Chain A
Amino acid sequence: MPSSAMKEIEYLSTELIKNSKPVTYHKFSRELNLSINKSKEILYDYYQKNKLKLTASFIITGLDKEDKRAIKLCSDESQLDENVAKFKSVSVIHVYCLISKDIQLTNSEIAAEEVKYKSDLSLIKTYEKNGIIIGPEIKQEIIKKIDIKQPTAPVIEIKKEQPKKEIKSNRLSSGYVSRKVSAAKPSLSNHYKSRKPSAESASSIPAKRPSTESSKPTLQYKSRKTEQKKPKDRIIVDDNQDDEMEESEVEQKATRTSTNDLAKMFEDEETFEFTDDDEKEQQPPKLESKKEEIPEDVEMNDVEEEDDQLFVTEEEEEEETAQPKEPEMTKEVDEDGYITVRRKPNPVTKPQSKRPPPKKSNKPVNVTKKSDTNNKKQASLMNFFSKK
């Protein structure tokens, strides 16, 4: 007892005097694993012995004059009598918080300090031992989900060592992942959780992606076409109250322990999106120049092949689904040393399934696209003028 008491006193003196932080009974109990009542007692004793240096705030609970249950925080011992007078019957007065007399804190600053000591769901048993109400039992499967946090802690360490950008992209995998980043850094794929629920396909990505994706970075921008092809999927996913989000999020959650890390990642999100946007903006010219190289009288099949390939190299999802269907692949090494994987044209099935994109790419793409956008702009401009 004396030795542990020493520890508590030491904690109080460092925290209160040295660090000039407020100490509430709640924080004290959580930090030193003390029972709630014990922590209130120790705080009160400590306050009695150090009245000159400390201010104590108190909690009064009881019934007020209108017979309503009331909880009153009394910021100073001197106001205690005055506040007790407002009660019809007092059930308890206990110490709430000690603060060094040298500092002045607003209530919201004390609250901000309290918020830092948040509950950890894996420590519920400890809290119960320390005196909170014992709640309904948490179902086994939920406990498992909570417990997953611990074993995967090392994974986080690895992530931390990586450059920030990677973490960011990892964070975003629930929404949008820059394909550039993920392609350039295949190591990331270990952490990438496929948006598709199946775990097997996800595990197959790391092997394939580096060779396919990095081979044709300039073509990546064409993802729009794949998106065009799969708009329904996306909408449904969103609409269904993001069931898939739940899965992937929970999985991700499991690989992260510290919520502080989480918060940091959040903060970085904006900048990340920004850079990604930049990439996007830089991409279109590349795409166009690439397109211009294609002669106008290119045969349908060629274009298709080009297109198919784009789909293959494009998005991980697309890749996963597309690859099993198409076993025939040819590998080429181009002058830059990139390995290009080409799918052999499959005229029977492919043109049917992918008809819409070829139609567009049949004609000089950049011309039509431009005129399209121009038309739109003009139309909206006209509207604007006609209104006024």
Chain B
Amino acid sequence: MNNNIEDIQVKRSDKLEFKRNEFFLNPSNRKYDRQYFSMYQYRLNILKDRVIQQAMTKWGDGTKKIDGQTIIKQDKILDITSNQLCWVVGTVFCDYPFKLNILSDVEKGTDDILPITPSSYLEDFKDSIVMIEDESGRAILHGDESFLNKNLLVTGCIVAILGIEIQAGIFEIMDIAYPKSISQNQNQNQVNSSGKIALISGLNIGFEDDLRIELLKQYLIGELGNNDDKEFNSEIESLIIAGNSILPFENLEAENDLKNFITSNNYGSKNISKYNSDSLKKLDNLLTDLLINLKVMVMPGVNDPAEISLPQQPLHKSLFKNNLMFLDTNRLQRLTNPQWFEINNLKILGTSGQNIDDVKRYCSKISSLQIMKSNIYWQNFIPTAPDTLYCYPYENEDPFVFQELPNVYFVGNQEKYESEMLEYQNNKIRLISLPKFSETGEFVILDLETLNTEVIKIDL
């Protein structure tokens, strides 16, 4: 105990440059008066060809047969004829009973308050309708549950469906083709990056001080543990905090008011802040303690005091009063959510988890990692925006469609740590599901050279 401890000097490596800022919305020209239609249209335009490409190789058009029936391609959903095996391309739309519905809010007179997002949009698959639609029309998809569970479909995905119309407007689903994946740019002398970054999410700093956060701090700056720990930590160049740093108040009374629709005005008791100013200060102090020798990047999350709609814009400067001198230098960076990083050609995509959490409301019992894989299949990592996730109304653009594939894709604030190297259409993508630190005491170290991950647990 406490033996053989000599002071050694350990220097933190500092080679990484992080770039990219495509999710930043210039505040002076944000426009909120647009319709979301153009986002969906753009998505369809971009992905349709890629889906067709994939479906053609999979099913062909009049060239392949299943059970003696020739498969043909239909250009429009309206062209589908009864009892004929065919495939069509369209956008999936899920009509689930508990999805938020502005029209019903207007009907009830509660459209002026922020609705509470349900924990699930459906109940035992009752009244759940999955449809595919294009410019011409809609068809209800009919298939057994296990098939739909295995091949996850949520609103906003662009896919090709193979099947037969068994009844007017009802399409029996047999197989799915996803868009052909865009490929990682392998021609560049890729992955010459080295070093490590630490990923953490869900600090949930609240009223009570969490000793684990103190230990985390001391560990990362090299005080806790011995020289081995110190040397290990010195390889960590940067810490990315992936959302939910702040624990909002639980204001039961106000929530009950909302639930019971007692009033519909936006003033008075209901409009009080969700945040405790102490926890905001604690976050600032935590950052000061880390910044003495570590670069820190902070992403906003669903609980943080940031905008509600995706892409969430960086947390406000005034939350970092103690560290203003570091702001927007590479020492302390305020990121958007989602965020793309580029480190020596290595591309990393990260979100704070809303995209995965929302898909979980569409289906029961599916792991975060499975949804992340589906994101890659769909070639869209937030298909449910703008349907069930608040989203900035982009015009003729959908930045959530993969225009390039990341080498690492991480998602914060999930139930547990999971990590897997996904190989998909000649691409290798490291998927990381980050646990909530406040619940597990775990954070993740990503090696940028090997793309291996390691989880570290702080236990009290």
Residues of A that sit less than 8 Å from B by CB? 25-26, 29, 35-37, 40-41, 44, 58-59, 61, 64, 68-73, 75, 91-95, 107-112, 114-115, 118-119, 121, 124, 127-128, 131-136, 138-139, 142, 145-146, 174, 236, 239-242, 245-246, 249-250, 253, 259, 262-263, 266, 387
Contacts and interface: CB of A to CB of B under 8 A. Distances in A.
A133 B457 contact: no
Interface string B214-244: 1100110111111011101110010000000
Chain A residues touching B, majority SS? helix
A250 B322 CA distance: 10
Nearest to B24: A241
A345 B10 CA distance: 72
B14 A134 contact: no
Most buried by B among A35, A110, A133: A133
Given A71-B225, A121-B288, A134-B293, 20 more contacts: A37-B7, A69-B457, A70-B458, A70-B459, A73-B211, A93-B1, A110-B214, A112-B209, A115-B214, A118-B285, A118-B289, A119-B288, A124-B293, A134-B9, A136-B12, A136-B295, A142-B325, A241-B314, A242-B317, A249-B318
Interface in B136-171: none
A328 to B, nearest CB: 37
B211 A110 contact: yes
Contacts of A114: 209, 211, 214
9 contacts: A68-B457, A71-B224, A94-B1, A110-B211, A111-B211, A131-B7, A142-B325, A250-B325, A253-B325
Contact of B5 (A41, A121, A240, A262): A41
B457 A111 contact: no
Contacts of A118: 285, 288-289
B7 to A, nearest CB: 6
A36 B224 CA distance: 9
A101 B264 CA distance: 55
A142 B326 contact: yes
Contacts of B416: none
Contact of A107 (B10, B288, B460): B460
A371 to B, nearest CB: 24
A253 B225 contact: no
A71 B11 contact: no
B221 A111 contact: no
Given A61-B224, A111-B211, A146 B325 contact: yes
A266 B278 CA distance: 10
B224 A59 contact: yes
Contacts of A121: 288, 291-292, 325
Given A115-B282, A127-B292, A136-B12, A68 B223 contact: no
B12 A119 contact: no
Given A118-B288, A134-B11, A71 B458 contact: yes
B401 to A, nearest CB: 27
B209 A115 contact: yes
B270 interface: no
B459 A71 contact: yes
A70 B212 CA distance: 12
B33 to A, nearest CB: 16
B327 interface: yes
B371 to A, nearest CB: 24
Given A107-B211, A118-B289, A131 B223 contact: yes
B196 to A, nearest CB: 12
Interface in B414-458: 454-458
Contacts of B297: none
Contact of B222 (A132, A146, A246): A132
B367 interface: no
Given A111-B211, A135-B293, A241-B317, A70 B27 contact: no
A263 B277 CA distance: 10
Interface of B: 1-2, 5-7, 9-12, 14, 27-28, 109, 208-211, 213-215, 218-219, 221-226, 228-230, 232-234, 237, 277, 281-282, 285, 288-289, 291-295, 314, 316-318, 321-322, 324-327, 329, 331, 454-460
A69 B454 contact: yes
Contact of B456 (A37, A68, A107, A245): A68
Given A61-B224, A111-B213, A250-B325, A68 B293 contact: no
A40 B2 contact: yes
Listed residue (B223, B294, B324) with the most chain A CB atoms within 10 angstroms of its CB: B223
B324 A61 contact: no
B226 A95 contact: no
B6 to A, nearest CB: 7
A119 B292 contact: yes
Contacts of B314: 241
A355 B211 CA distance: 62
Given A26-B218, A40-B2, A119-B288, A91 B210 contact: no
A95 B3 CA distance: 11
B292 A135 contact: yes
A14 to B, nearest CB: 23
Contacts of A58: 1
Contacts of A139: 329
B15 to A, nearest CB: 9
A266 B28 contact: no
Contact of A94 (B9, B27, B226, B293): B226
* 6 cross-chain pairs, A with B, having the tightest CB-CB distances, nearest first: A135-B293, A111-B209, A136-B14, A133-B222, A92-B226, A145-B325
A92 B229 CA distance: 9
B456 A71 contact: yes
Given A44-B1, A94-B2, A240-B28, A135 B214 contact: no
A99 B7 CA distance: 26
Contact of A133 (B233, B327, B460): B233
A347 to B, nearest CB: 36
A93 B228 CA distance: 12
A37 B460 contact: no
B325 A133 contact: no
A109 B321 CA distance: 25
B210 A111 contact: yes
Contacts of B215: 59, 71, 73
Nearest to B109: A387
Nearest to A86: B459
A142 B295 CA distance: 14
B6 A91 contact: no
A138 to B, nearest CB: 7
Contacts of A146: 325
Nearest to A43: B2
Contacts of B317: 241-242, 245-246, 249
Given A37-B6, A118-B289, A250-B324, A91 B229 contact: yes
A142 B329 contact: yes
B3 to A, nearest CB: 9
A142 B294 CA distance: 15
Nearest to B327: A246
Given A107-B211, A240-B28, A138 B331 contact: yes
B420 to A, nearest CB: 16
B1 to A, nearest CB: 5
B7 A35 contact: yes
Contacts of A73: 211, 215, 458-460
Contacts of A132: 221-223, 292-293
A239 B219 CA distance: 38
B83 to A, nearest CB: 51
In the complex, which of the residues B27, B214, B455 has the most CB atoms of chain A within 10 Å of its own CB atom? B214
Contact of A71 (B6, B326, B327, B457): B457
